[in-house]
Structure 1
Amino acid sequence: MIIEKIAESKFNDSVFNSTVFGKEFTDHMLIAHYKDGKWDEPKIVPYGPISMTPAAMSFHYGQTIFEGMKAYKNDNEEVFIFRPEKNFERFNLSAARLNMPQIPKEIFIDGLEAIIDLDRQWVPKDYGTSLYIRPVMFATEEAVSARASNEFIFAILLAYAPNYYDKPLSVKIADYYSRSAQGGVGFAKCGGNYAGSFFPTSEAQKDGYDQVIWTDSIEHKYIEEAGTMNVMVRIGNKILTAPTSERILNGVTRDSVLTLAKDSGYEVEVRPVEVQELYDAYKSGELKEVFGCGTAVVITQYDAVGFGEERAQLPTLAEEDSFALQLKKKLKDIQYGLAEDPYGWRIKIEEQA
């Protein structure tokens, strides 16, 4: 791996005062090019713009995929990442679905470790803050021909992630727009999935909601995801969530939360969850919690759910009564090295000489 270090670091402690997610980029980025059926040697270079033709095929045909990960630092200045193998596997699943080349492990995993080690001073220590990691691949061949590109760039970007304000959000259940369809790309982490969600979300915001709970594209009968996250509901003392499928992203946080929930003694059911079941539970007082889970926020609670014209206000629960808050703390404590990690999820970034 070729490493070209920045002449003078941009880093100073004021970076950690930022309250904006994904804007404070670190000193370096990793870049690898795919051409003539193979990847070249990856380079870590100073972060900056990439020159591209407006005819690059990613701009026209949407061959773009990415992942979202985080790095954490403990009081001993040790840096860790969380379950990188899962992101590596999912990245290549996304690549296969969009007819893009597989990225080798020595570029993805070794590249992650090398660039995070190089920019480790950018990893904050405060609980709730982190260094966000964005692996991305996009088509670069110069052509306006409706086919798969033959040339690609793989990159890894790093940016400071401030602590999220834990204000509960409100969500409206979609009864017309859909995030994905059977046989589509819902399980892939590709740019189009997100672009297509922005307009329905803005419509929900006009109705006084923050995000959308997506439902199946045929009957709008079953809940699937919430915003850009997997969604879970608590009815009584049972946690329910939809199974992953061609329409639903197999979230790393989702998998981690389900594992912790089961090992903590909570009753968990992974099965289709009907909108009507949620509504009936709300009416009977059994709908205790609805929450989303994903890399950026870990777990976020919802305080209201929109069923058509009806706004269902959910109870406000203290941490000792909230499954969502208890699971969030358990997961974050593992990520930040404050609790034992019996699962081997936390991977230390070794310092290179």
Structure 2
Amino acid sequence: MSRFWSKVVRDLTPYVPGEQPKIANLIKLNTNENPYPPSPKALAAIEAELDGDAARLRLYPDPNADLLKSAIAKRHGVTTAQVFVGNGSDEVLAHVFMALLKHEAPILFPDISYSFYPVYCGLYGVPYIQVPLAEDFTINPDDYCGQTWNGEQCGGIIFPNPNAPTGRLLPLAAIEQMLKANPDAVVVVDEAYVDFGGETAISLVDRYDNLLVVHTLSKSRSLAGLRVGFAVGHPDLIEALERVKNSFNSYPLDRLAIVAAVAAIEDEAHFAECCNKVIATRDTLTADLASLGFEVLPSAANFIFARHPQRDAAELAKALRERSIIVRHFKLPRIDQFLRITIGTDGECQALVTALREILA
């Protein structure tokens, strides 16, 4: 700690990203990356952008990324005025915490959820209440429909759907229940994993002006290395995000990210093929782990959340690492005996099952 640090920095507990180890022949199942490459059309778009006139890289990109907004709007049946884009969904979420989640009343999010949420609250001075998940690790919408602050409605609600790290999915009817119960607070649905088994809440944005849905191209579109995220909601919500963005970084997406993201969104066949392969492998892995005695939570994401009733999760993670297989272990209350396992290729998941069978034996 330095005497030059501000009080905000001194009080922060930063987010800890998933490990990106430099180990040869590693089976990496810890950060929910897609095991399959992005659309060939995305790579072709990058090459075309460079081959056309590489000197354009000396110029700033389009600050509004209009080409990308149009592609997103077309795919989801909304207008470009309802679309915001940013440098990965984490940046989009950061602007959401500043622009739309009220700072004078506590916001609500699950006690077991994306661990960046309390970090953003600390960074921006947003009070919050962590609402406990049910015993089966589901979100109970009734817990988000009451009065929470001196008889007033909460300052906002945010949660991933499917939730992370549990993978459990909340149906759209439950989301509508929250929207109706909190008409004066923004409800943010973080849909990083929805393409692997859920139904997007974007279909509700024209009916609820307090709904914002956040997506990323890092997971189902295999573009984690390019950092592209977006939000869809009422134009008034989008305008607030644009005001914050243009007070922070007017050019969040570079030229190559914009053209690659457009191509990836337009390649529906590749997108569907990759998602279906991940879902099929997830189902197989879930059955294989159950046969080894694991309890596996129902997942609609590209990962599963599992525990073994007789074996310590930290010890299992250590034993897997010794075999060059990395999974995610959270040393947190209620979930310290679970492992979050990213869905890899069929071969990678079979290697995981073989290793676990040896460890358990």
- TM-score under structure 1 length normalisation: 0.23
- TM-score under structure 2 length normalisation: 0.23
- Higher strand fraction (1 or 2): 1
